Amino acid sequence: MDRKFILTAFGYAILGLLLGIYMAASKNPTQHVTHAHFMLIGFLLSFIYGLCHKLWLNNSTSKLAIVQFYVHQLGAVTVLIGLFLYYGRFVSLEAIDPLLGISSIAVFIALVLMKIEFIRCTRTNNQ
């Protein structure tokens, strides 16, 4: 599971940095929130989850670990698409609000699931 998380983290980082370079080159920072969240929800959070698997969770492939992975990815991709469409002025806030709301909750649920995984695993290992 660590490999999956780290690989997706680098994927978000590549897209996020490309957006950052585009903003810097075009002197047009309108997508700075999208860029920030590519780097933070996409890269940073996925990377941290990958490290948790490597360092504490014994690279668990339990059902919970798999569900946590996909809930995070689905939430992250949807938040990022939503922010990109909104800050690029492709859609109105009213139109994108429900999608952003649901996907934010998915990112949040994945965070809670990671905490549960962490508690379960470190308790079992008596760490």
Interacting positions 70-99 with ligand HEM (CB under 6 A):
79
Q: Do 7 and 43 contact (CB within 8 A), yes or no?
A: no
Q: Kindly write out the interface string for residues 3-22 of this chain, putting x where it contacts ligand HEM by CB under 6 A and - elsewhere.
A: --------------x--xx-
Residue selected from 1, 9, 15, 39 as contacting ligand HEM according to rule CB under 6 A = 39
For ligand HEM, the closer CB: 24 or 55: 24
Q: Do 24 and 66 contact (CB within 8 A), yes or no?
A: no
For ligand HEM, the closer CB: 58 or 104: 104
Q: Which amino acid is at 61?
A: T
Q: Which segment (28-36, 64-72, 90-98, 118-126) binds ligand HEM by CB under 6 A?
A: 28-36
Residue 32 makes contact with ligand HEM by CB under 6 A: yes
Q: Please report how close the Cβ of residue 46 comes to ligand HEM at its closest, in angstroms.
A: 11
Q: Which residues bind ligand HEM (CB under 6 A)?
A: 17, 20-21, 23-24, 29, 32-33, 35-37, 39-41, 44-45, 79, 100, 104, 107-108
